[in-house]
Amino acid sequence: MLVLQPMGFTDILDEIFGLYRNHFKLFFSISVVYYISKFGNELLDAFFFYGSNSPKILLLDSVISFSEYVVGCFVLSTLVYASILAYLGRPITARAAFRQVLRRILPCCYGWFFVFFILVVLTVLTLRFSASRSGGMIAAVLVASLLAVYFIIRWRFYGMSVLFEEVTPRQALRRSSELVKGTWWRVFGISVAIYLLGLMLMSVFFVCWGIVLSFAGVTESASVLRMVARVLSPRANEVGWLSCILENLIVVSISTFSTLPIWGIGFALLYFDLRIRKEGFDIEMMVRNRSAE
């Protein structure tokens, strides 16, 4: 019988790595979709887009980057849904998880485009601030940033409600707000910690990769900034096309498989922690398990 209990951050941390280890094939199969998209984009950038000022090329690069963002949101949503069922001990496959997200794709898109809209607004305000540096622009950037963070955390569990509870978008916003109410700072702190955990793992692997390149003599004569750029974004005109492909293969592997599954699992666990604390979800699961026996 599955008994769910409230979790502290260390419990969430342990469960993240436990689920990732026990269901590695599942999370790998889902993440590889984003990996293919990201790898293709990196190769296009390295071979064709880098250093180009052509308006058509820049527009094409923007379109491809946006499509990569959509694929990333799609894959992350699938990882979250797969994490939910894996945590509950229910059978789940990558195909079934993708099918559920596709079935709920329209309400999911509302959330993805809302976040994209926030990013665009903040980018525009930041660019205008860097150009004018006026007091009004500083205030606008700060206010917009604070509002963006507030609503992103408040509606953090919109996707979980849409996918797992299968409610309408409006109900999903209300559900997320109810779950976060009274615990905003805790949700904010754990969300930041989950993001940083993925980034830290990625950084560790990148440092190891940089050491490998250093021992191979590839980056030994470069400055620190140049070495970082060389490790993270190899260019065909600098290393040759074959080395560029192989190195991008490794870089994209590190950035994909050390972050997306961690984030997907982490946010799914945080969602359940709040439901357990606020709604007694463990009691609900006990009743269901007993009725099924």
Q: 178 Cβ partners below 8 Å, 6+ apart? A: 278
Report which of residues 131 and 70 the model is more confident about. 70
By mean pLDDT, which of 37-41, 87-91, 108-112, 267-271 is the weakest? Answer: 37-41
Q: Where are the alpha helices (DSSP H) in 240-259?
A: 241-257
Q: Which tens digit of pLDDT belongs to each residue from 79-111?
A: 999 999 999 889 999 999 999 999 999 999 999
Which class for 90: exposed (0-12), middle (13-18), buried (19 or more C-beta within 10 A)?
A: exposed
Is the pLDDT at 77 greater than 50? The verdict is yes
Contact 43, 248 (CB under 8 A): yes
pTM greater than 0.75 (yes/no): yes
Q: In which band, very low, low, confident or very high, does the pLDDT at 227 lie, cut at 50, 70 and 90?
A: low
The pLDDT score that the predictor gives to residue 157 is 95
**Alpha-carbon distances, residue 105 vs 17, 210, 265, 293 (angstroms):** 28, 39, 20, 34
Please state the rounded mean pLDDT for residues 218-240.
56
Mean pLDDT of the chain: 83
Is the pLDDT at 56 greater than 60? The verdict is yes
Is the pLDDT at 192 greater than 80? The verdict is yes
The pLDDT score that the predictor gives to residue 21 is 95
Please state the rounded mean pLDDT for residues 1-17.
82
Is the pLDDT at 279 greater than 70? The verdict is yes
Report which of residues 24 and 245 the model is more confident about. 24
The upper half-sphere exposure of residue 133, i.e. CA atoms within 13 Å in the direction of its Cβ, equals 2
Is the pLDDT at 71 greater than 90? The verdict is yes
Is the pLDDT at 225 greater than 60? The verdict is no
Report which of residues 38 and 58 the model is more confident about. 38
* 3-state percent helix, strand, coil for the chain, nearest multiple of 5: 85, 0, 15
CB atoms closer than 10 angstroms to residue 279: 12
d(CA 29, CA 170): 31
**Alpha-carbon distances, residue 34 vs 38, 67, 242 (angstroms):** 6, 11, 22
d(CA 113, CA 117): 6
Contact 67, 37 (CB under 8 A): yes
The pLDDT score that the predictor gives to residue 3 is 58
Is the pLDDT at 262 greater than 90? The verdict is yes
The pLDDT score that the predictor gives to residue 269 is 94
The pLDDT score that the predictor gives to residue 49 is 64
Q: Which tens digit of pLDDT belongs to each residue from 105-156?
A: 999 999 999 888 888 888 877 777 766 666 677 777 788 888 889 999 999 9
Q: In a 3-state reduction of DSSP, which class is residue 23?
A: coil
d(CA 263, CA 93): 19
The pLDDT score that the predictor gives to residue 207 is 81
Contact 42, 252 (CB under 8 A): yes
CB atoms closer than 10 angstroms to residue 269: 24
The pLDDT score that the predictor gives to residue 51 is 61
Candidates 186, 138, 163; CA nearest to 264 is: 163
Please state the rounded mean pLDDT for residues 159-180.
93
Q: In which band, very low, low, confident or very high, does the pLDDT at 60 lie, cut at 50, 70 and 90?
A: confident
